[in-house]
C-alpha cells in the first residue's frame, strides 16, 4: 500500500503517509522513508547527484508530515492533560509532579530546542511519544512545529539515501529499523 501511494502520488504521497504514520504508530516510518528513497530516486546514479532530490522530494515532505502529524498528537495531549494524568497516569507511570517537573525543566530555550531536535532527528526514537510529552508539558507550539520539521528532515535524509543505495533490499532493512523503533 505504501509503495503504491508513493509511486502514484510522489512527494505528496510521502507527505500524506508521513502524517498518517505520525498519528497511527504501527505504520513503520523507516519503511516509508526508505521506500520513498528507492521509488522516487531510482534514476540518480551518484550520491552527489541524489542528495538534493532526496532532500526536496523525500526529506522535506517527511519533515512536514512529522510536524503536521505531531501537532495532532500534541493537541490531544495538550487538551487532554487532565484526563491523561489523573485517569490514566497511574497506568503509564505519569504523575502530576513529574509533568510539573518537566514543565519547569523545558521552557523553550535554545538548550531545550536542541534536545527536542536531537530526539526528533533520531531514527529509533518514537515520535508520537515526543509529541505527546510536548503537549502534556504545554511546550510552545511554534517551537514544537519548527523543531519537529527540522528534526524530521534530518531524520529522513540519511534514511532516504539509504533506501536509494539499498535498492530493492530496502524492505528487509526497513524491517530491522522498524523493530528498533
pLDDT score of 31 = 75
CB 53 within 8 A of CB 114: no
Set of cell numbers at residue 72: 495532532
What does each of the 181 residues of the chain score in pLDDT, given as a tens digit?
777 778 788 889 888 988 888 888 666 677 788 788 888 887 777 778 888 888 999 999 999 999 999 999 999 988 887 777 777 666 767 767 776 777 777 765 788 888 888 888 887 788 888 888 888 888 889 989 999 999 999 999 998 888 888 776 655 655 565 555 5
pLDDT score of 121 = 86
CB 81 within 8 A of CB 96: no
In 3-state terms the chain splits into helix, strand, coil percentages (rounded to 5) of 85, 0, 15
Q: Residue for cell digits 500500500?
A: 1
CB 2 within 8 A of CB 35: yes
- Which pTM was predicted? 0.80
Q: Rounded to an integer, what distance in angstroms lies between the CA atom of residue 171 and that of residue 58? A: 17
Amino acid at each position: 500500500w505504501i509503495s503504491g501511494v508513493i509511486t502514484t502520488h510522489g512527494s505528496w504521497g510521502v507527505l500524506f503517509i508521513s502524517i498518517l504514520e505520525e498519528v497511527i504508530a504501527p505504520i513503520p516510518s523507516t519503511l516509508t522513508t526508505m521506500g520513498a528513497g528507492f521509488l522516487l530516486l531510482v534514476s540518480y546514479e551518484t550520491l552527489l547527484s541524489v542528495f538534493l532530490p532526496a532532500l526536496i522530494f523525500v526529506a522535506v515532505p517527511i519533515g512536514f508530515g512529522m510536524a503536521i502529524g505531531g501537532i495532532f498528537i500534541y493537541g490531544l495531549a495538550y487538551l487532554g492533560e487532565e484526563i491523561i494524568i489523573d485517569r490514566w497516569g497511574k497506568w503509564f507511570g505519569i504523575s502530576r509532579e513529574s509533568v510539573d517537573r518537566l514543565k519547569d525543566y523545558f521552557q523553550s530555550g535554545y538548550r531545550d530546542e536542541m534536545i527536542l531536535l536531537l530526539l526528533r532527528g533520531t531514527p529509533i526514537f518514537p515520535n508520537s511519544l515526543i509529541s505527546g510529552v510536548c503537549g502534556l508539558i504545554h511546550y510552545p507550539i511554534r517551537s514544537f512545529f519548527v523543531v519537529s520539521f527540522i528534526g524530521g528532515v534530518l531524520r529522513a535524509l540519511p534514511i532516504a539515501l539509504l533506501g536509494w543505495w539499498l535498492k530493492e533490499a530496502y524492505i528487509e532493512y526497513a524491517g530491522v529499523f522498524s523493530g528498533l523503533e
